[in-house]
Structure 1
Amino acid sequence: MTCPDASSSGPTPEHEVLFGSGAADYGRYRPGVPTAAVQLLADVVRGRPDPTLLDLGTGTGQLPRALLAAAEPGLAHIEAVDVSRQMLDQARDALTPVLGRCTLRLVHAAADAYTQLPGGEARAPDLVTCCRSFHWMDQPAVLAMADRVAAPDATVAIMGDGSLWTNEADWTRALRDLIQRYLGTERRAGTGATYREPRRSYEEDLAASAWSEVTEHHFPVDRTWAPGNVIGYLRSTSFAASALFGERHAAFEAEARILLDAHASGGPLVEQAMFTVLLARRGGGAQ
Structure 2
Amino acid sequence: MTYPYGPLPDLYPEQEALFASAAATYARYRPGLPDAAVRLLADVLRGRPSPVLLDLGTGTGQVPLALLSAGAALTHIEAVDVSRQMLHQASQALHPFLGDCTLTLAHAAADAYEPLATLPGEPDSGPDLITCCRSFHWMNGRAVLEMADRVATPGAAVAIMGDGSLWTHEAGWTRALREMIQQYLGSERRAGARSSYAEPRRSYEEDLADSPFSDVTEHLFPVTRTWMPEEVLGYLRTTSFAAEKLFAERHRAFEDEALALLRAHAVDGALVEEATFRVLLARRPGGAR
Flag whether TM exceeds 0.5 (same fold): yes
Corresponding residue for residue 169 of structure 2? 167
Amino acid at match of 2:78: E
In the alignment, is the contact (CA less than 8 A) between 2:229 and 2:270 conserved in 1?
Answer: no
Q: Could you tell me how far apart the structure 2 residues matched to 1:56 and 1:32 are?
A: 16
Corresponding residue for residue 19 of structure 1? 19
Corresponding residue for residue 54 of structure 2? 54
Corresponding residue for residue 44 of structure 2? 44
Corresponding residue for residue 264 of structure 2? 262
Corresponding residue for residue 280 of structure 1? 282
Q: Could you tell me how far apart the structure 1 residues matched to 2:234 and 2:130 are?
A: 29
CA change 1:169–1:268 in 2 (3 A) is same
Corresponding residue for residue 204 of structure 2? 202
Corresponding residue for residue 114 of structure 1? 113
Q: Could you tell me how far apart the structure 1 residues matched to 2:57 and 2:67 are?
A: 16
Corresponding residue for residue 84 of structure 1? 83
Tell me the CA shift for residue 50 of structure 1: 1.4
Q: List aligned pairs for 1:89-238, cutoff 5 A.
A: 89-118=88-117, 122-238=124-240
User: Secondary structure at 1:125's aligned position in 2?
Assistant: coil
Task: Output one character per residue of 1:89-140: Cα deviation in whole Å (capped at 9) or x when no partner.
Answer: 1101111111111110000000011111237764300000000000000000
Task: Output one character per residue of 1:19-44: Cα deviation in whole Å (capped at 9) or x when no partner.
Answer: 11111111000000000000000000
Tell me the CA shift for residue 49 of structure 1: 1.2
User: Secondary structure at 1:100's aligned position in 2?
Assistant: coil
Q: Could you tell me how far apart the structure 1 residues matched to 2:9 and 2:143 are?
A: 14
Return 5+ residue gaps in structure 1 as ranges: none
In the alignment, is the contact (CA less than 8 A) between 1:116 and 1:123 conserved in 2?
Answer: no
Corresponding residue for residue 271 of structure 1? 273
Task: Output one character per residue of 1:132-169: Cα deviation in whole Å (capped at 9) or x when no partner.
Answer: 00000000000000000000110000000000000001
User: Secondary structure at 1:7's aligned position in 2?
Assistant: coil
In the alignment, is the contact (CA less than 8 A) between 2:263 and 2:269 conserved in 1?
Answer: no
Task: Output one character per residue of 1:228-261: Cα deviation in whole Å (capped at 9) or x when no partner.
Answer: 1000000000000001000000000000100011
Q: Could you tell me how far apart the structure 1 residues matched to 2:232 and 2:63 are?
A: 21
Tell me the CA shift for residue 15 of structure 1: 1.7
Aligned length: 286
User: Equivalent pairs: percent with the same residue?
Assistant: 69
Amino acid at match of 1:162: G
Tell me the CA shift for residue 268 of structure 1: 3.0
- Superposed CA RMSD in Å reads 1.3
Give me the TM-score of the superposition, normalised by structure 2.
0.96
CA change 1:265–1:218 in 2 (3 A) is closer
In the alignment, is the contact (CA less than 8 A) between 2:225 and 2:274 conserved in 1?
Answer: yes
Amino acid at match of 1:166: T
Corresponding residue for residue 64 of structure 2? 64
Q: Which region of structure 1 is more displaced relative to structure 2, 81-90 or 16-25?
A: 16-25
Return 5+ residue gaps in structure 2 as ranges: none
Q: Which region of structure 1 is more displaced relative to structure 2, 88-97 or 266-275?
A: 266-275
CA change 1:125–1:285 in 2 (3 A) is closer
User: Secondary structure at 2:3's aligned position in 1?
Assistant: coil
In the alignment, is the contact (CA less than 8 A) between 1:16 and 1:83 conserved in 2?
Answer: yes
Tell me the CA shift for residue 47 of structure 1: 1.5
Amino acid at match of 1:81: V
Q: Could you tell me how far apart the structure 2 residues matched to 1:97 and 1:118 are?
A: 25
